[in-house]
Amino acid sequence: MSNTPLPADSTIGSGSPPSSVSFGEAFLFWLKLGFISFGGPAGQIAIMHQELVERRRWISERRFLHALNYCMVLPGPEAQQLATYIGWMMHKTRGGIVAGVLFVLPSLLVLIGLSWIYVAFGDMPLVSGLFYGIKPAVTAIVAQAAHRIGSRALKNNTLWAIAAASFIAIFALDVPFPIIVAGAACIGYVGGKLSPQSFKTGGAQHESDKSYGPAFIDDHTPTPDHALFSWIRLLKVLIIGLLLWLMPMALMTAHYGWDHTLTQMGWFFTKAALLTFGGAYAVLPYVYQGAVEHFGWLNATQMIDGLALGETTPGPLIMVVAFVGFVGGYIKALFGPESLFLAGAVAATVVTWFTFLPSFVFILTGGPLVETTHNNLKFTAPLTAITAAVVGVILNLALFFGYHVLWPNGLQGGFDPVAALIATAAGIALLRYKINVIHVIAACALLGLLIRSF
């Protein structure tokens, strides 16, 4: 995943851990990670594991997994939160902020550029042909995500039942996703006490006995002073986080009004950041409901296209919200017809700010508490149940995308057999032959371009 040469003191399995990790060395790594973090959360977490646990040995396997457990139970992008957590553990608050920001910033800049090309030139045969092939591939990718997470998480009949109930709740009963998550967490909490064996598998919370040699932050390394719990520090972070949310929200409300698009984007994506769990695939139905159906910032086809762009750029997949913001700001011409790009770029930045700000607050406030909860089932059992519920939600999302791709004009508009063939081929490539997502998208894009050219 990375061709970075090994530091002299970081050979796998050597007898001594790195003596120190400078802030500059960490900064360069987090900057590099922001540009190479393809493959969704699973790929991004794998890159960090390979680099930080196996090669550089900045953190031990158990400490890495324990931090990941906490990040997975939080709303928001777990890979970005994990980077923030490790950066905070190594270099205090500034380390966490740098790690988290650099994980997102390259993706934001790339997506602003790609979103502009999409909305400004999307009707050109070249662009429309590429997206004709990409959209079926995205449908297959979402289905693969359901299969991948399900195969890891659904280890017994109890977890299968939770996943099935989650699917029925969101597909047939239209139950809001936050309610599904809350219900699953309650089931996990109670089930962890009544039947602990049923909730010790699934998710990422299992501990590993692997060791890659002593680490800079090892299994038994004392918790550093800045990571010890303090009510004063907790209150300080909460106040600063609240001010960082309140100031831009107050300025937009005062200048534009509460009903203005930018203000509503800030408020909506604050709720999305706080109320949605389970990663980007689980968040998307909530974003679709608000951005497409309620506010009309973009349409269903554009939402699918945005996910396609998100899959092909580095950074967390939830960065698709930047695409939503850009398209909404551009189409609404927030600053007049002469400043369409500026409107889109500002809207994308506003959306990204309000989506990711809670993640930093969660890590900087909750991290000291997490350092005291190693191997505690009452914290991990709800995660297991939530992970199982997310499988059902992602399956619902795959069906949603499949409908819009295979019946692009509705049931009355007819079935698209070519799109079905592309989706099937992409699914086989992903599930049967384990081909990289980026390669599948590139091949399908080329195939779509060829089909639309004849």
Position 15 scores a pLDDT of 54
The residues, any chain, with a CB within 8 Å of residue 196's CB and separated by 6 or more, are 377, 381
Position 439 scores a pLDDT of 84
pTM exceeding 0.75: no
Look at residue 412 and tell me whether its pLDDT is greater than 90: no
Position 314 scores a pLDDT of 80
Position 50 scores a pLDDT of 80
Look at residue 171 and tell me whether its pLDDT is greater than 80: yes
Look at 240-254, 283-297, 346-360 and tell me which has the smallest mean pLDDT. Answer: 283-297
Position 3 scores a pLDDT of 37
The first and second tokens of residue 198, run together, are 């049923």
Tell me the Ramachandran region of residue 51: left when phi exceeds 0, alpha when psi lies from -120 to 50, beta otherwise. Answer: alpha
Give the mean model confidence (pLDDT) for residues 230-240. 93
pLDDT band at 44 (very low <50, low <70, confident <90, very high): confident
Distance of CA 288 to the CA centre of its chain: 16
Give the mean model confidence (pLDDT) for residues 218-222. 79
Look at residue 10 and tell me whether its pLDDT is greater than 60: no
pLDDT in tens, 132-157: 888 888 788 878 878 877 887 788 99
Position 276 scores a pLDDT of 65
Look at 230-239, 303-312, 358-367 and tell me which has the smallest mean pLDDT. Answer: 303-312
Listed ranges 118-132, 189-203, 416-430; the one with the highest mean pLDDT: 416-430
pLDDT band at 373 (very low <50, low <70, confident <90, very high): low
Position 258 scores a pLDDT of 95
Instruction: Pick the more confident residue, 418 or 64.
Output: 418
Look at residue 280 and tell me whether its pLDDT is greater than 90: no
Look at 67-76, 112-121, 416-425 and tell me which has the smallest mean pLDDT. Answer: 67-76
Encode the chain in three state secondary structure: CCCCCCCCCCCCCCCCCCCCCCHHHHHHHHHHHHHHCCCHHHHHHHHHHHHHHHHCCCECHHHHHHHHHHHHHCECCHHHHHHHHHHHHHHHHHHHHHHHHHHHHHHHHHHHHHHHHHHHHCCCHHHHHHHHHHHHHHHHHHHHHHHHHHHHHCCCHHHHHHHHHHHHHHHCCCCCHHHHHHHHHHHHHHHHHHCHHHHCCCCCCCCCCCCCCCCCECCCCCCCHHHCCCHHHHHHHHHHHHHHHHHHHHHHHHHHCCCCHHHHHHHHHHHHHHHCECCHHHHHHHHHHHHHHHCCCCCHHHHHHHHHHHHCCCCCHHHHHHHHHHHHHHHCCCCCCCCHHHHHHHHHHHHHHHHHHHHHHHHHHHHHHHCCCCCCHHHHHHHHHHHHHHHHHHHHHHHHHHHHHHCCCCHHHCCCHHHHHHHHHHHHHHHCCCCCHHHHHHHHHHHHHHHHHC
Backbone phi, psi, residue 10, to 5°: -120, 25
Residues 393, 153: Cα–Cα separation, whole Å: 14
The first and second tokens of residue 418, run together, are 């070519």
Look at residue 197 and tell me whether its pLDDT is greater than 90: no
Instruction: Pick the more confident residue, 61 or 343.
Output: 343
Q: C-alpha angle with apex 379: 81 to 382, nearest 5 degrees?
A: 90
